[in-house]
C-alpha cells in the first residue's frame, strides 16, 4: 500500500466555449468551439500537461429550445463518446469521462461504447450516469412527456446493474487467441447475463472483452435522496454542487455514511464538488475578468438558464425585477439543484434577473474568484476538512480559463503537496486511487 500523502483529484469540465452562459460572445473565445476538434485537442493537452485526473464532457440529447434559444450556445456540439474516442488517440494518461443518460439509452449500447473507449484509451474511460433533467429530451424518443423523477431512478438502478453485468461477461484472461490450437477464447470464460427485469431483458454476453480497468469508472451527480441512494450503491465518483464549506461537509458526511450499508468502505467513492474558478495575478484582475463576462449576460438569457436549472420551468412571464415565484417540486429536473437555487435566492434576497445573472457563471456551483493562492487556500480548506476528495473544475471560458488554472492554480497546489506533479499510474482508477474491481463470476 502506498504511503504517499493523500492528494486531491481534479477534473476539467469541458463545456465547449466555457461554463459561463455568455462565454461564446467574448472576443477571446472561438464561438464555434462545440464542433472544433482542434479546440478540444488543445484543451486536452492543457489539462494533461497539468496532470488533471480527467476530462469531463457533459451531454444532453436535445438542442436548447424556447424563445431565446438562439441566444445560447448549447445547440451544436459533439456527441461526447465520439469526441473522447478521438481525444484518446492524442492523449496518453488523462481520464476521459462522458455523460450518457439511462433514460434515453439502452444498457447494451452504453456498456459496449464505454468498454470500447476503455480499450481505445488503455484504461481511461469513465461513464457519468445521469437520469436526464432536460424535459425536451423525451420528445426525441417517442414520448409526449419526460419520465418522472422516481421512475427515472428505478430505471437507472436496473440500467446500472445490466451494464456492469455486461462488463463482467468475460474472464480477464478469456481471449487467448491461440493460433496453434485454433482456440480464440476459453469456452469456460464467458457468461451469459440472462437479465430479465422490470425495464430490461438482456441476454448478453457483451461483444467486447473485459476492459483494462475491469470496469470503466462510474460517475454520478444526483444529490436528491434518490440520487444519494443510487450513488452509495453504485458510484465510484460523485460530482455535486455545494455553495459553502458547511453544506459540502454535510453532503460529504451523508454520502460517505451511506456506504457501509452497501458493504463499501469510505475510500471506495470519491466526492468531487464543482468549483467555478476565475484567477488572476491580483483580486482586482480576477474580478475584472469575471465582470467582462457578466456584462455580456442578457437578462432574458440568465432567466432562461435559471428556469432550466430550477427544473424546466418557463419564467419568461414573470417580472424580471420580481422575486423568484413559488414553484412546485420539479418532477422532470434536478430536485437538488432546485432546492439549492431557491435557497440562494431567499438567502441573498435576489430578484429573477439578479438570480439569473448570479448563476450565469457557476450555475449553482461554488465560485472562487481571486489569486492562485486565495483559490488554493479554499480548495485546501475543503479538502482537509471532510468536504471534498477533489474538485471538478469549471472555468468561465475556454481555452483561456483552463490555461489560467493550469498555469497558476495547479502549481500552487503542487507546492503545497496537495496535487501530483506527474502521473504515477496509467488508468483513471489509478489516478483516483480506486481499486480495480474483481470479476465476481470468474474469481
Q: Can you tell me the mean pLDDT for 315-323?
A: 79
Q: Looking at the predicted structure, is the pLDDT value of residue 335 above 80?
A: no
As a whole-number percent, the residues of the chain with pLDDT over 90 amount to 72
Q: Looking at the predicted structure, is the pLDDT value of residue 332 above 70?
A: no
pTM of this structure: 0.91
Q: Looking at the predicted structure, is the pLDDT value of residue 1 above 60?
A: no
- Long-range contacts formed by 71-78: CB under 8 A, 24+ apart: 71/298, 71/300, 71/301, 72/21, 72/301, 72/304, 72/305, 73/16, 73/17, 73/23, 73/24, 73/31, 73/34, 74/16, 76/34, 76/35, 77/16, 77/34, 77/35, 78/34, 78/35, 78/37, 78/40
Q: Looking at the predicted structure, is the pLDDT value of residue 52 above 80?
A: yes
Lowest mean pLDDT across 56-65, 69-78, 212-221: 69-78
The three cell numbers locating residue 153: 431512478
| pLDDT classification of 393: cutoffs 50, 70, 90 | very high
In which element (H, E) is residue 373 found? helix 372-384
| pLDDT classification of 278: cutoffs 50, 70, 90 | very high
Average pLDDT of the residues of the chain: 91
Supply φ then ψ for residue 186, to 5 degrees: -70, 125
Q: Identify the pLDDT of residue 63.
A: 82
Q: Identify the pLDDT of residue 2.
A: 43
29 or 303, greater pLDDT: 29
Name residue 10's beta-bridge partners.
391
Q: Can you tell me the mean pLDDT for 235-259?
A: 95
Q: Looking at the predicted structure, is the pLDDT value of residue 290 above 60?
A: yes
Nearest Cα neighbor of 126 from 234, 217, 12, 222 is 217
Q: Can you tell me the mean pLDDT for 170-194?
A: 97
Q: Can you tell me the mean pLDDT for 7-24?
A: 94
Q: Looking at the predicted structure, is the pLDDT value of residue 425 above 90?
A: yes
CA atoms within 13 A on the CB side of 194: 3
Amino acid at each position: 500500500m502506498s504511503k504517499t500523502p493523500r492528494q486531491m483529484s481534479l477534473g476539467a469540465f469541458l463545456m465547449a466555449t466555457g461554463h459561463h452562459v455568455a462565454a461564446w460572445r467574448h472576443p477571446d473565445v472561438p464561438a464555434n468551439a462545440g464542433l472544433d476538434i482542434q479546440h478540444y485537442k488543445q484543451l486536452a493537452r492543457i489539462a494533461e500537461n497539468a496532470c488533471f485526473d480527467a476530462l469531463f464532457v457533459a451531454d444532453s440529447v436535445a438542442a436548447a429550445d424556447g424563445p431565446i434559444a438562439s441566444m445560447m450556445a448549447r445547440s451544436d456540439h459533439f456527441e461526447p463518446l465520439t469526441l473522447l474516442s478521438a481525444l484518446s488517440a492524442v492523449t496518453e494518461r488523462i481520464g476521459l469521462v462522458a455523460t450518457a443518460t439511462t433514460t434515453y439509452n439502452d444498457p447494451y449500447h452504453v456498456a459496449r461504447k464505454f468498454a470500447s473507449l476503455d480499450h481505445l484509451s488503455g484504461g481511461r474511460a469513465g461513464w457519468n450516469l445521469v437520469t436526464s433533467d432536460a424535459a425536451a429530451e423525451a420528445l426525441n424518443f417517442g414520448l409526449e412527456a419526460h419520465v418522472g423523477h422516481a421512475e427515472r431512478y428505478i430505471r437507472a438502478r436496473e440500467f446500472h446493474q445490466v451494464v456492469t453485468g455486461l462488463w463482467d461477461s468475460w474472464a480477464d484472461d478469456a481471449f487467448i487467441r491461440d493460433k496453434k490450437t485454433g482456440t480464440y477464447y476459453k469456452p469456460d470464460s464467458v457468461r451469459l447475463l440472462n437479465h430479465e427485469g422490470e425495464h430490461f431483458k438482456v441476454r448478453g454476453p457483451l461483444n467486447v472483452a473485459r476492459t483494462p480497468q475491469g470496469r470503466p469508472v462510474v460517475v454520478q451527480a444526483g444529490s436528491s435522496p434518490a440520487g444519494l441512494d443510487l450513488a452509495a450503491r453504485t458510484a465510484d465518483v460523485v460530482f455535486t454542487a455545494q455553495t459553502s464549506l458547511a453544506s459540502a461537509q454535510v453532503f460529504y458526511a451523508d454520502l460517505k455514511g451511506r456506504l457501509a450499508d452497501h458493504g463499501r468502505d469510505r475510500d471506495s467513492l470519491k466526492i468531487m464538488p464543482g468549483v467555478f474558478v476565475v484567477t488572476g495575478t491580483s483580486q482586482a484582475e480576477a474580478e475584472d475578468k469575471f465582470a467582462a463576462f457578466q456584462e455580456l449576460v442578457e437578462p432574458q438569457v440568465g432567466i432562461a438558464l435559471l428556469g432550466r436549472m430550477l427544473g424546466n420551468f418557463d419564467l419568461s412571464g414573470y417580472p424580471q425585477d420580481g422575486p423568484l415565484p413559488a414553484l412546485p417540486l420539479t418532477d422532470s429536473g434536478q430536485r437538488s439543484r432546485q432546492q439549492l437555487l431557491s435557497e440562494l435566492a431567499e438567502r441573498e434576497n435576489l430578484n429573477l434577473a439578479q438570480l439569473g445573472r448570479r448563476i450565469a457563471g457557476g450555475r449553482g456551483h461554488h465560485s472562487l474568484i481571486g489569486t492562485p493562492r486565495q483559490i488554493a487556500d479554499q480548495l485546501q480548506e475543503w479538502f482537509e476538512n471532510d468536504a471534498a476528495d477533489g474538485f471538478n473544475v469549471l472555468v468561465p471560458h475556454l481555452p483561456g480559463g483552463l490555461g489560467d488554472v493550469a498555469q497558476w492554480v495547479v502549481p500552487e497546489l503542487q507546492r503545497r503537496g496537495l496535487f501530483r506533479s506527474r502521473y504515477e499510474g496509467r488508468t483513471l482508477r489509478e489516478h483516483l486511487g480506486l481499486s480495480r474491481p474483481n470479476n465476481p463470476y470468474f474469481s
